[in-house]
Amino acid sequence: MRLCRDNRDGSYSTQATRSRILDLIANQLHELGYKHMQAKSLKPKHIDALVSLWKDQSIGVGTFKNRLSALRWWANKVGKADIIAKDNNAYDIGNRRYVGEASRAQRLDDKRLENVSDAYVRLSLRLQSAFGLRREEAIKFSPNYAIKGNHIKLKASWTKGGRARTVPIRNDEQRRLLEDVRQLARGSALIPPERNYVEQRNRYDRQVRTAGIKNPHGLRHAYAQRRYEELTGWKAPLAGGPATKSLNSDQRALDKGARETISRELGHDRTSITRTYLGK
């Protein structure tokens, strides 16, 4: 904040946006376990950790670029401009787009799941697959709070943007999974008693990499596509189904309702984001 006050680069709007972004980044670094940092403490490992977090959160490309721009400003002001790549392509964030060009859906492979030695991580991955949860939601999932008869309830503090939500329990497979979670967690989160959230998240990341599960966020995409087919009766465009423009009026009404439902279940506040998961 002192850097922002002492360096009035850009318009008032630009300065305010930069200050807000850097305040968010400071809080995120603290939550990632990097405590007692000074402005000059910024290192490549902090950049990598933030990029990994933002990819996991699936933030928009525009938001991603704005945050990297604020990081570059910070790095430049403390004389460390070389610790962050000048080209956004180095971070593989792509270009601004609103319709998924290819499906990122991923099925949870049983053989790779067997390679995950931590029982807590295995259940977190299964929750991601069965209910379309984000990584943090699946790690912080507490069965005593979350399991509510015919749905699960996600606490605001677990979710992106602090948006509490519910997701329906639709089949016996989901119910068996929730019982497995209840038995292991015993009312607490899917975090062993000897670890905190950051330690378990880091263990999750290591175990997933070791098991060869390259894109666990793809489990969420697969959930969205399964739900779309359940709700409409046909596959999503990214899963090989018809494009929205080819649907008749009745089918378009079903498509619209399905996208609204899926958007709510995934924790998004706009239906346009479903194009990333489903196509158009």
Of the two residues 88 and 267, the one the predictor is more confident about is 267
CA atoms lying within 13 Å on the CB side of residue 28: 20
Long-range contacts of 144-149 (CB under 8 A, 24+ apart): 144/187, 147/178, 147/182
Percent of the chain exceeding pLDDT 90 equals: 69
Identity of the residue numbered 176: R
| DSSP label at residue 56 | H
Residue 222: pLDDT over 50: yes
Q: Beta strands 151-154 and 165-168: pairing type?
A: antiparallel
pLDDT at 70: 93
Predicted TM-score (pTM) above 0.85: no
The tokens for 196 are: 């905190």
Which residues are bridge partners to 168 per DSSP?
151
Instruction: Residue 57: name the closest of 237, 251, 216, 264 by CA.
Output: 216
Does residue 199 register a pLDDT over 50? yes
Position 215 scores a pLDDT of 84
User: What's the rounded mean pLDDT across residues 87-103?
Assistant: 67
pLDDT band at 270 (very low <50, low <70, confident <90, very high): confident
Say what the pLDDT of residue 95 is.
56
Residues in CB range of 224: below 8 A, 6 or more apart:
105, 132, 236, 262, 266, 274, 277, 278
Query: Mean of the per-residue pLDDT values for the chain?
Result: 91
pLDDT digits (tens, 9 = 90+) for 127-145: 999 999 999 999 999 999 9
CB distance 136 to 201 below 8 Å: yes
The pLDDT confidence band at residue 112, using thresholds 50, 70 and 90, is very high
Mean of the pLDDT values across residues 176-190? 94
Tens digit of each residue's pLDDT (9 = 90 or more) over 3-58: 888 888 887 778 888 999 999 999 999 999 998 899 999 999 999 899 888 887 87
Instruction: Report d(CA 102, CA 239) in Å as an integer.
Output: 9
Mean per-residue pLDDT, 224-248: 96
